[in-house]
A = this chain, B = another copy of it.
Amino acid sequence: MNKLLNREEFVELLNGIGKLRYHNLHPFHKLLHSGKCSKIQVQAWALNRYYYQYSIPIKDAILLSKFENSDDRRQWRGRLNDHDGDSLQIGGLQRWMILCEGIGLDKNYVQTLEGISPTTRFAVEAYINFVRNKSLLEAVASSLTEMFSPNIISERFSGMLQHYDFVDKDMLGYFIPRLYQAPNDVNFAINFVCNNATTVELQISVLKALEFKCDVLWTMCDALYYSYVSPGFKTYGMF
């Protein structure tokens, strides 16, 4: 890439990354959504993903601290409201716990964060450190996997509901608000990266940040596959 792309070209490249690398393509998710996971595998997925959900508001607070004006912070603060809840509704983290409990995990066990795969832990912490240590532009860019999330959510919602008798609609309450929250968040983030990636180097840094984030999500699926599908190896203490 040696010339500055216009907005349309740039957004097309961002979308292209999703088409190649977003975790909806991962074999684990294909199993999960098509009803081929055992209950234990679904539990392992929900438990490990809990650590990601747990870390997202921490990541967002770090990211928020990098903005230098009230308008941007106010906009990003909405993500904290979504994850931690507000006076009107419970947050995403609590909704995720409803899913965990619904499929038979013990709340206290989940909250201890014991049982999480070390690979999940390292991947999620790599994400937090990326946001902490990289530029604001790269940090915002790393959130852009949400461009691709409405598809996986609708696929997951209908697939899990159809295929698992131990899953019901109330347990999947996490995903409903995400269907309107994510596009709103994405809208701001895309505008931000398009407006601020004003050189070829900055555009490349945005693309790399999105690839990195795809790797984070993909690696979390690798960990699930490796330990719960094949070959099924776990480290001491894992669920």
Contact = CB atoms under 8 A, between A and B. Distances in A.
* Copies assembled: 2
From DSSP, what is the main secondary structure of chain A's interface residues?
helix
Given A58-B65, A62-B62, A65-B65, A84 B94 contact: no
Chain A, interface size: which category? 20 to 34
Given A62-B62, A65-B62, A77-B77, A57 B70 contact: yes
A183 interface: no
Interface string A146-165: 00000000000000000000
A74 B61 CA distance: 11
A35 interface: no
Interface of A: 57-59, 61-62, 64-66, 68, 70, 73-74, 77, 80-81, 83-86, 91, 93-94
Given A58-B68, A61-B64, A77-B84, 12 more contacts: A58-B65, A58-B66, A61-B61, A61-B62, A61-B65, A62-B65, A70-B84, A70-B91, A74-B85, A77-B77, A77-B80, A80-B80
